């Protein structure tokens, strides 16, 4: 990974940034983030089989 490359890349945002999806640029794993009021949460995004969603990484 290049020194200035961001580790997490935002690939999706809706509802004024309340729901977002980030991709780890090293592993390709997708994460879902929700922000609401004074709280928020982050979790691995899962497919229908319960496995992590992984985006192929271009080297």
pTM value?
A: 0.84
Number of folded domains in the chain? 1
pLDDT of the residue at 40? 94
Query: Would you state the pLDDT for residue 58?
Result: 82
Residue 37 lies in a domain: yes
**What's the pLDDT score for residue 24?**
97
> Does residue 18 belong to any structural domain of this protein?
yes
Q: Which residue has the tokens 């390709």?
A: 28
Local mean pLDDT, 10-residue blocks, the chain (59 residues): 80 89 97 93 97 91
Q: With respect to residue 35, please indicate whether it lies within any of the assigned structural domains.
A: yes
What pLDDT does residue 47 have? 97
Q: Is residue 36 part of a domain?
A: yes
Q: Give the model's pLDDT for residue 7.
A: 94
Residue 15 has a pLDDT of 80
Residue 54 included in any domain: no
Question: Which domain range does residue 30 map to?
Answer: 8-44
Q: Could you tell me the strand order of the sheet in which 8-14 lies? A: 8-14, 19-24, 30-36, 39-44
């Amino acid at each position: 990974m290049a020194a200035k490359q961001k580790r997490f890349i935002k690939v999706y945002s809706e509802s004024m940034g309340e729901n977002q999806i980030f991709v780890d640029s090293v592993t390709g794993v997708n994460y879902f983030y929700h922000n609401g009021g004074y709280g928020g949460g982050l979790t691995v995004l899962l497919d229908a089989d319960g496995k992590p969603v992984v985006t192929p990484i271009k080297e």
